[in-house]
Chains A and B, each alone.
Chain A
Amino acid sequence: MKITTMLGDVLRSLLRPNSTQQYPAERQPDPERLRGKLVWNGEKCTGCALCVKECPALAIELITLDKAAKRFVMRYHIYRCTFCAQCVENCRFGCLQMSNTDWELAAADKSAFTVYYGKEHDIEMARSAQAASTKPEPAEG
């Protein structure tokens, strides 16, 4: 029959500041291994598409513009991504990284959730090709 054990803790809590972190105002450093937004650096990409094949959420598309000249564009759908980093595991050339600083990905506009990676000129090409083809977006879910 001990009431006193809890009493001590309660009284101590009364005197010390609470342990809630006021998130947007108060921030902890980002953990080193935090898996945030996927970043693709296409310089060494060979277009093997292993990342695409094993993505559990079908969040990445690799658009091949010219296989021989190694011109690829990656289309990344953030809203589908489960941030499992399997693509990072799969890439043998270290082209893919998950940012540990860029993780506040909320946006008010849907277009922010589709990101293109690649050379600017290539992205333009991929975008226009995408607009020209009547292929509808694959259904969600």
Chain B
Amino acid sequence: MPSERFVIPIGPQHPALKEPGHFEFSVEGERVTGATVRLGYAHRGIEKACEERNWVQSLYLLERICGICSHIHTTAYCLGVERLAGVEVPPRAQAIRVLIAELERVHSHLLWLGVAAHEAGFDTLFMYSWRDRETVMDVLEGLTGNRVNYSANVLGGVKYDLDEARAETIRKGVDYLEARTYYYLELVVHDPVFVQRTRGIGTVTREQAEWLGLVGPAARASNVARDLRVESPYAAYDLFPVQMVLETAGDLEARVSVRLKELFESYRVIRTILDKLPTGEIKGRMPKKVREGETVSRVEAPRGELFYFIKSNGTDKAERVKVRTPTLCNLAPMMTLAIGHQLADMPMLLAGVDPCFSCNDRSIVVRNAQEAETRWTWEQLRRYGIEVYKCKR
């Protein structure tokens, strides 16, 4: 019998992956017997770069960690820095932050549905869900002026106010999307072929999910009550509470339906905010320098818990910004789950946690015990990067 392993590489360049990541699946026939992951292809040194920029400049850099959940990154950062600086953010600004975050969640989940359908070879669903996603993109463009990287957050508040005309556009968009989401939920639960590809695939029990440390919709699909919007409401989530959506099955189908059902919660919260938007200012006064201290800021990104550690040394620059994105928590468990599944299920299984590789890839320090630890400045890191790429060429 096969003594040599037959390895199927997926990535860094592969039609299934829209971003660079490298997976190796060793297979016996169609059955996967081993799986490894290698990350770091999209490392951009953002955390280090934050140490060279002032608080405001870092905001726009961090917004570009992820193209899909850009707003939630800046929200996490703003909340952290505002807490450090002791700035009071007006409730209206917080509500608008939540509003944009929920619209972003809608856009992210619909995008994900399309990607998952494409991985399953269901291109019609892919095209339809992305077509409908245009609605929420247009709404976001009308509200903030941009389709992605809205840059709606500033330290101390938000840039853009909401008026009645815009609220009406949002309401209309949400009504349309809600009807479509019902349709998709019906479809993914009942379509015989799609169900065959999702039901019972990659099942994670509740104990496993807790032990492996899944976050976000992937965890909620396994009946683990993990949602920061409910557990520790930030921004305006205490004013506009969210119900947690849980599924019990823990398989791919549950991950699909948890995301779609979450959308109904988002639509409800969006409508409530539009109806009961607090009045007042949208910006608080932000000092140039932030007093010394450190803080942890956690928010619920569309993919799960997003974690920011921010340390200030009392100047106008951050001493350290550390970001942990949800994909990192979710990707490793999937490698454990892959074993025993069919090769054809792998793209679906990976897509099931909605991986975002450029979110993932930031600084990694490989310590060599023999050498003294050295710290590089941003300039040294930049020079090193240029040298490496020159040599490769």
Contact = CB atoms under 8 A, between A and B. Distances in A.
A and B touch in the complex (CB under 8 A): yes
Interface of A: 1-3, 5-6, 9-10, 19, 31-35, 53-57, 82-86, 89, 98, 100, 141
Interface of B: 53-54, 56-61, 63-64, 124-125, 128, 131, 134, 141-146, 149, 151, 154, 159-160, 183, 186-187, 190-192, 382
The A interface is mostly helix, strand or loop, or mixed, namely loop
11 contacts: A2-B191, A6-B124, A9-B128, A9-B183, A32-B142, A33-B145, A53-B54, A56-B59, A84-B149, A86-B56, A100-B145
Contacts of B124: 6, 10
A89 B186 contact: no
A86 B60 contact: yes
Contacts of A33: 141-145, 160
A35 B56 contact: no
B388 to A, nearest CB: 14
Most interface-central of A33, A55, A100 (chain B CB within 10 A):
A33
Nearest to A33: B145
A5 B61 contact: no
B53 A35 contact: no
B60 A84 contact: yes
B187 to A, nearest CB: 6
A126 B219 CA distance: 59
A100 B141 CA distance: 12
A46 B151 CA distance: 26
B317 to A, nearest CB: 12
In the A-B complex, the 3 residue pairs with the smallest Cβ-Cβ separation, listed nearest first, are A33-B145, A56-B60, A56-B57
A3 B61 contact: no
B56 A1 contact: no
B154 A5 contact: no
B293 to A, nearest CB: 22
Contacts, number: 73
A83 B64 CA distance: 12
B186 A2 contact: yes
Contact of B183 (A5, A32, A57): A5
Nearest to B386: A141
Given A6-B124, A100-B145, A85 B151 contact: yes
A31 B145 contact: yes
Contacts of B64: 82
A6 B145 contact: no
B159 A89 contact: yes
Contacts of A1: 190, 192
Given A32-B142, A53-B54, A56-B57, 20 more contacts: A1-B190, A1-B192, A2-B186, A2-B191, A3-B192, A5-B183, A5-B190, A5-B191, A31-B145, A34-B145, A35-B146, A54-B54, A54-B56, A56-B56, A56-B58, A82-B60, A82-B149, A83-B151, A86-B151, A86-B154
A89 B154 contact: yes
Nearest to B283: A89
Contacts of B186: 2, 5
Contacts of A89: 154, 159
Nearest to A100: B145
B53 to A, nearest CB: 7
A21 to B, nearest CB: 9
Contacts of A3: 191-192
A27 to B, nearest CB: 14
Nearest to B145: A33
B146 A34 contact: yes
Given A35-B145, A82-B60, A100-B145, A6 B154 contact: no
A40 to B, nearest CB: 19
